Amino acid sequence: MSTKLQPGQFDCYAKLADDEPYFVLRAKDIAAPATIEAWIRFRRGVPGNEKNPKLEEAMETAHAMRAWRIKYMSAQPCGCDPAEGHKCERHR
């Protein structure tokens, strides 16, 4: 699993071509774990990926993201008015 301070075994940032687009999912994004799990299901359907260790690391990341959200985001009210939609930094 990768973090900003400790890139993981499968961290792609150093491998990117100078002009290669990429997309980052953060634990702060409520859709991130489910998005990772959908990617895992897709990749497992590709022949040769059934036991790819990168997919296990991705699942660990999805679980860690959920744990991070519980630890840092669930216990603190954000102050947003749900009737107006969440507009605070926490929900962006």
Where in the chain are the domains?
27-70
Q: For residue range 22-75, what is the model confidence (pLDDT) as tens digits?
A: 888 999 999 999 999 999 999 999 999 988 999 999 999 999 999 998 888 865
Nearest residue to 69 (alpha-carbon basis) of 27, 37, 38, 8: 27
Model pLDDT, residue 86:
60
State pTM to two decimals: 0.70
The alpha-carbon radius of gyration of the chain (Å, integer) is 16
pLDDT at 32: 95
The number of residues making up the chain comes to: 92
The residue to which tokens 């999805």 are assigned: 62
Pairwise CA distance, residues 40 & 7, whole Å: 20
Q: Which helix (H) or strand (E) holds 38?
A: helix 32-44
